[in-house]
Amino acid sequence: MNSRRTSPERPTGPGRATMRDVASRAGVSVKTVSRVVNDEAGVTDELVRRVTAAVTELGYRHNLTASHLRRGHRTASIGVLVQDLSNEFCGAVLRAIEDRARAEGVVVIASSIDEDAERERETAHGLVARRIDGLILMPASRHQDYLDTDRASGLAVVAVDRRPLVTEIDAVVADNQGGAAEAVGHLIAHGHRRIAFLGDSESIATAAERRDGYRMALRASRIGQDPALERMDLRTTEDATRATHEVLGLDDPPTAIFAARNVICTGAVVALQQLSLSGTVALVGFDEVAIGEFVEPRVTVVRQDTHTIGANAFDRLLARLDGDQAPASIEVVPTTLVKRGSGEIRAPRKSAKPRRAVRR
């Protein structure tokens, strides 16, 4: 007599769990699994419970294109999650990834996550459900353990621009601390001792690293740190414009400003123009700024090598997909100080009293 096997089966072979694996584990048909994961009617509560339990146990992600793919077959597609597709830095990194991907016949699906950890998780899971082979992301959350099951099943993940704070995954980042220290050191070399720092949210790793570089340069020149000259949590151009007015309105205002993000630098440029101080207060930004080419003096910036960052992130992802089992690594890409005029404004002579900005 033939006996029917009732013990649950584990997924066979490499790759992520399939609908067939879930059906086997739950002891139901593939059609029943399909109805449950697609939230269709006609399934009893008991079957829903069994299928849901199997889905959780196997770490199954619903494959929206499963009917068109064989199990284990690569889709030749990757996801790229950046903070803001409209931002010049994000757009440049994405373009570098796309150029490398196109040469390899890989399709790129990109999305903005806007510094929202929950949006990062939801978007990542949505891409994984479409069976992408790999994911490149600018992390908004502190860790990416929500991808642990998918990574164990073959999903390649590489962080770009920011170091992963907890989860051990590969990353390609700029030398944020070194670039910031060079920028501030450049201002110090031009006689400045009162240098303001305008930064992004303290919770963002790159913002913290750039502030560390600013402070490091001050310490190296034995210049005391003045908390009144630091402004953090500047998310928009308007925030930066307002903060620039504030620091320039101090009784002892700065003679130079280090703006640690392109959006922030744009806000500082606007404020300096409003106060007629563009040719008086020195300015160095971090990242290229579109407005920087059209003002006088032109804006000195710390340039990130977006091509190398994006291309190397893609190449690292490809190496993982090809079976590289080396420990996770962090690649730090050097920055370049581009001198255009605003950062070369010299500090006023000590005998001259610093000019206090007039609020407008």
Q: State whether 129 and 48 are in the same domain.
A: no
Q: State whether 313 and 167 are in the same domain.
A: yes
Phi/psi at 25 (nearest 5 deg)? -65, -40
Q: State whether 201 and 286 are in the same domain.
A: yes
Q: State whether 170 and 181 are in the same domain.
A: no
Measured distance CA(238)–CA(113) in Å, rounded: 21
Number of domains in the chain: 3
Measured distance CA(247)–CA(19) in Å, rounded: 59
Is 255 a domain residue? yes
Q: State whether 163 and 246 are in the same domain.
A: no
Range of the domain at 211: 176-305+338-344
Is 358 a domain residue? no
Helix axes 45-58, 30-37, angle to 10 degrees: 90
Residue 66, token pair as written in the block: 């499963």
Q: Which of 35, 56, 73 marks a domain boundary?
A: 73
Instruction: Sort strands 77-82 and 107-112 into parallel, antiparallel or unpaired.
Output: parallel
CATH number, domain containing residue 294: 3.40.50.2300
Is 294 a domain residue? yes
Residue 7, token pair as written in the block: 């013990």
pLDDT of residue 127: 94
3-state secondary structure of 156: strand
Count of positions (residues) in the chain:
360
The reported pTM is 0.76
pLDDT of residue 62: 67
Q: State whether 27 and 113 are in the same domain.
A: no
Residue 87 in contact with residue 58, Cβ under 8 Å? no
Tens place of pLDDT for every residue, the chain, 360 residues?
A: 333 333 334 444 445 678 888 999 999 988 888 888 877 778 898 999 999 999 888 888 765 444 333 334 478 899 999 999 999 999 999 999 999 999 888 999 999 999 999 999 999 999 999 889 999 999 998 889 999 999 988 899 999 999 887 778 999 999 999 999 999 999 999 999 999 999 999 889 999 999 999 999 999 999 999 999 999 999 999 999 999 999 999 999 999 999 999 999 999 999 999 999 999 999 999 998 887 677 899 999 999 999 999 999 999 999 998 888 899 999 999 999 999 999 999 999 874 444 555 444
Residue 174, token pair as written in the block: 């700029």
pLDDT of residue 252: 96
Adjacent-strand bridge partners of 134:
78, 156
* Sole residue written with tokens 């009162």: 194
Q: Is 164 exposed, middle or buried (0-12, 13-18, 19+ CB in 10 A)?
A: buried
pLDDT of residue 61: 74
Q: Is 222 exposed, middle or buried (0-12, 13-18, 19+ CB in 10 A)?
A: exposed
Is 356 a domain residue? no
Q: State whether 198 and 102 are in the same domain.
A: no
Q: State whether 258 and 211 are in the same domain.
A: yes
Q: State whether 44 and 103 are in the same domain.
A: no
Q: State whether 86 and 161 are in the same domain.
A: yes
| Cα 251 versus chain centre, distance | 37
CA atoms within 13 A on the CB side of 145: 5
